[in-house]
């Protein structure tokens, strides 16, 4: 929907999805670019409870980026527990309030698609939330398994496709690369 004062300016929704590596990394790259352009950024991470290496840099060195975790320990190899649902739902409520504030030029909802896939939050709530995002805000949603309804609403969808991955050679996650 075009902005009343600036018809060329309207909400853009990006989705970075797929089974390949690089979704969060792409969102971080866009966040750095926006920070360099004096934009105000919110980077919220669903499902994740561990402060990955990027969090340290963001919180200590990049004041234009506000960061928040909306998860606990990783549950990808187990069923989510009630606390996982609670963390995701509280995260969605927090994001809705931040959207209403109009404070951010760029909002990243990292791994929101995973929270949707595991039904930690409802798709209808997310789709409704998109109607509330200010037209001046760029919104990025990451994570595997982006639902078709979200893809339909997006302006840009990038699918990261795994062609080859060193995990297949039993290489473990490395600090500074995967976390």
Flag whether 116 is in a domain: yes
Flag whether 7 is in a domain: no
Q: Is 94 helix (H, G, I), strand (E, B) or coil?
A: helix
Flag whether 175 is in a domain: no
Flag whether 112 is in a domain: yes
User: Does the pLDDT value for residue 121 go beyond 70?
Assistant: yes
What mean pLDDT comes out for the span 164-172?
80
User: Does the pLDDT value for residue 106 go beyond 50?
Assistant: yes
User: Does the pLDDT value for residue 172 go beyond 80?
Assistant: yes
Tally the domains of the chain. Answer: 1
What mean pLDDT comes out for the span 106-131?
97
What is the predicted pLDDT for the residue at 108? 98
What is the predicted pLDDT for the residue at 11? 82
Query: Among 45, 49, 89, which residue's Cα sits nearest to residue 73?
Result: 49
For residue 159, the domain's CATH number is 3.40.50.300
What is the predicted pLDDT for the residue at 3? 47
pLDDT, one tens digit per residue, over 41-83 is 999 999 988 777 888 888 899 999 999 999 987 666 778 999 9
> Structural domain of residue 127, as residue ranges?
12-169
Flag whether 69 is in a domain: yes
Cα angle: 69, vertex 126, 3; to 5 degrees: 105
Flag whether 4 is in a domain: no
Q: Determine which helix (DSSP H) or strand (DSSP E) holds 175, and give its type and residue range.
A: none
């Amino acid at each position: 929907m075009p902005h009343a004062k600036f018809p060329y300016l309207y909400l853009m929704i990006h989705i970075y999805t797929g089974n390949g590596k690089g979704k969060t990394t792409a969102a971080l790259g866009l966040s750095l670019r926006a920070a360099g352009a004096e934009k105000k950024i919110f980077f919220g991470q669903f499902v994740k409870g561990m402060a990955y290496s990027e969090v340290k840099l963001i919180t200590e060195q990049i004041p234009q980026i506000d960061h928040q975790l909306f998860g606990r320990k990783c549950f990808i190899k187990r069923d989510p527990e009630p606390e996982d649902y609670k963390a995701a739902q509280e995260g969605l409520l927090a994001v809705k309030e931040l959207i209403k504030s109009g404070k951010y030029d760029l909002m990243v909802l990292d791994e929101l698609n995973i929270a949707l896939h595991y039904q930690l939050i409802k798709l209808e709530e997310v789709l409704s939330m998109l109607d509330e995002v200010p037209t001046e805000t760029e919104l990025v949603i990451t994570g595997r398994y982006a639902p078709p309804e979200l893809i339909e609403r997006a302006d840009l969808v990038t699918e990261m496709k795994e062609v080859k991955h060193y995990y297949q050679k039993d290489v473990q996650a490395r600090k500074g690369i995967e976390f």
